[in-house]
Structure 1
């Protein structure tokens, strides 16, 4: 419907692409930083199945409006990796995302299971980008070090990525399940003869 007021633009002429981007955060471990900086954030984690608490899927990327590491520890600093070590700043338009309530409706996540995922006050910060987040929408990389997140960029970021890749090649074997219920899920093991790696920094290692 066109506007009859010459000073007011018609609704169908509004450029929704001009909507300002909103700031979100994506938490990840050191191991996945090199691939993210090359290819964007592709492997999201969708909490839909009690048997796989944070199932990886190439269809979605988890984002949060909460930049406080302390609130993330129970969620992301478990298992073999501490996924609070890296905090990525991501600038996307909110209309490109779905929130946690919409995610529950889409995947029919039961309320009893949802209560186990995270504190109620944290869920309001959760959003999901289906299709991932391209590298050009990552506006900042921060490394948790000495009690705070510190920005890392340029040559320092390149050195960190090179060190991670060298350590991964030295110590770790990574496989991706091709079929079945765990399809797309990545498993990480130490190479034969290797007893430890600084990339395995999670609480259960």
Structure 2
């Protein structure tokens, strides 16, 4: 793509030269076709996406400052952003109007909400969280620190060994012992609940 030629076409297109606009369309057609083929927007067909891209191209022509001499980059980014906006709007609209939306009629059975987890899984998650918290309370302060540093703060074992000045193999051994201790505590809680 010859940037100087594009700049001159934009200048003519801003002056409402139809031939310049058509030539500009021809220059950007490969990019627009490529982006249109790669993009899926719910309730938009290929031709609709392509037309939105051309619409954005001509909007860029009308607002472009000729002193910048960067029309290709400006319009390419604008076209990509316009497609991304269509996708975002489509996703928002899909949750409000699509199959995941509420169906409000006389029957409660027809009320559908796919975003809510069912009651059983919520209760199980709460139960597991409570058991894990109880098992974590049985750990010593040093063991608790290692668990928080590695599993909750998402640091590596190597970073923990450097932070505490402990050898890496010792940290691995500590981690394995802590996990074994937690497993044993969780299993004993489970066995106690089965007896009750």
TM-score (norm 1): 0.18
Q: Which is greater in Rg? A: 2
Q: RCO higher in 1 or 2 (8 Å CA, sep ≥ 6)?
A: 1
**The structure with more helix, counted as a fraction of residues:** 2
TM-score (norm 2): 0.19
